[in-house]
Amino acid sequence: MEPLSRRAFTSLSLGTLAYLVGSPGRAAPPRPDGPRLVCLWLHGGPSQLETFDPKPGLSIGGPTRGIETSVPGVQIAEGLPQTAEQLHHLALVRSMVSQEGDHERGNLFVRSGYRPDVTLEYPTLGALLTHEAPIEGAELPSYVSILDPTDYSRGGYLGPEVAPFRIGDPRDPVRDVQPRVSEARQARRLDGLKVLEEGFAARRPNAEKRSKHRDRTARALQMMRSEHLAAFEVEDEARAVRAAYGDTPFGRGCLAARRLLEVGVRCVEVTLSGWDTHIDNFTGTSKLCEALDPALASLTRELRERDLWDDTVLVCGGEFGRTPRINEADGRDHWPKGFSMLLGGGRIRGGQVVGRTSDGDEGPADPVSVQQLCATIIAGLGLDPTTQTISPIGRPLALADAEPLKRLLV
């Protein structure tokens, strides 16, 4: 992308501008230090029995077989052979329990650590991290969501300033960062906009401060000029690297996540949808694992190889699991009473398994709540889960609503 002049301006959508808040920087900063978070959300509720907690040989296990992993004595499903080789770097929680069995409420819960409340919208983990570890002069959004068909990731009461910037398949160009008219015409537009903004600020100074429109516009222009925009362009990677992640939207999303973390983005989420397997569960999860396995394994490996692992927490899982019982449509239904999550990086201690599900429909041994999971993620980032933020009505709220699991932390 050729750099635009200081006066150049593109016609940006309001959605694109919504996240662009803060003081513009003048030079591309070096990659900032500090914590990073990458969340691989398996939207729809992945079956633990066909992913990270198989039960081969039992009636509840269906036809899914287990394979050995790099952690002695631990098996995962046969559809995840590359992930099995990386498991000694990861912590596997098999005894997750949630109080929410609905997709929307379950997603909001697992992404924030707080159960949904009609009186208050809670920020998700990426928004909390962006708020607690701001990057001065950042040229790209600090929080990026890739391939998410929902709006479950939010800034919540912390405001749109920390909400995610959303893109689709990284193979497609990022919208609204290329000029649509000549530079001269854009300069005239920008001059006109300046007149309007100055007039509005003079008449309504308080409203102008709340809208932060001028700051957002300046940040938009800064992003358009940034050399870090190239991080979205996964086709620039070597063919072998792209092939390792998999020629799928999710694979490209995970590759883009690594590239974005390298240039200083605080949190990247990548969503793999389709896990709501009420019908034909085994065929559906097998196809999804074909996309998940190479992308998850390659991301884990490259974060380690590129010296990002110790500062980055990796999370992989969904809003709940699936029933041990196989229904009449050869599917599995919603099951919040014993599902799996993978964690790694940061202060997370890898190579261990926490909890155990039963061989029937009883609750798991050593259950781990969603609140505990989120507190552990926050602690794994090096943040204090007891740190308080203030809601718009002055209510103090801790970053997490539970104590972290100390055995998962180094």
| Alpha-carbon torsion angle 16, 303, 273, 123, nearest 10 | -50
CA distance linking residue 86 with residue 76, whole number of Å: 12
Beta strand spans in 5-129 (E): 36-43, 66-68, 75-77, 90-97
User: What per-residue confidence (pLDDT) applies to 224?
Assistant: 55
Contacts of residue 173, Cβ cutoff 8 Å, sequence gap at least 6: none
User: What per-residue confidence (pLDDT) applies to 19?
Assistant: 36
CA distance linking residue 84 with residue 401, whole number of Å: 32
User: Strand, coil or helix: what is 235?
Assistant: helix
Helices 370-380 and 125-132: angle between axes, nearest 10 degrees: 30
Q: Distance from first CA to last CA of the chain, Å, rounded?
A: 42
Pairing of strands 352-354, 165-167: unpaired
Q: Any idea where the domains of the chain sit in the sequence?
A: 31-170+233-408
Helices 249-262 and 281-305: angle between axes, nearest 10 degrees: 20
Contact 297, 255 (CB under 8 A): no
- β-bridge partners, 273: 43
CA distance linking residue 304 with residue 299, whole number of Å: 9
For residue 146, give the nearest of 15, 260, 6, 54 by alpha carbon. Answer: 260
Q: What is the pLDDT along the chain (410 residues), one digit of tens a residue?
A: 334 333 333 333 333 333 333 333 334 445 568 899 999 999 999 999 999 999 999 999 999 999 999 999 999 999 999 999 999 999 999 999 999 999 999 999 999 999 999 999 999 999 999 999 998 877 789 999 999 999 999 999 999 999 999 999 999 987 766 666 667 777 777 778 777 777 777 787 776 666 666 666 655 655 555 566 888 999 999 999 999 999 999 999 999 999 999 999 999 999 999 999 999 999 999 999 999 999 999 999 999 999 999 999 999 999 999 999 999 999 999 999 999 999 999 999 999 999 999 999 999 999 999 999 999 999 999 999 999 999 888 999 999 999 999 999 99
CATH, domain range 31-170+233-408: 3.40.720.10
CA distance linking residue 189 with residue 217, whole number of Å: 12
CA distance linking residue 279 with residue 336, whole number of Å: 18
User: What per-residue confidence (pLDDT) applies to 200?
Assistant: 75
> Is residue 182 packed enough to be buried (19+ CB in 10 Å), middle (13-18) or exposed (0-12)?
exposed
pTM above 0.75, yes or no: yes
Contact 315, 341 (CB under 8 A): yes
Tell me the residue type at 252: R
User: What per-residue confidence (pLDDT) applies to 303?
Assistant: 98
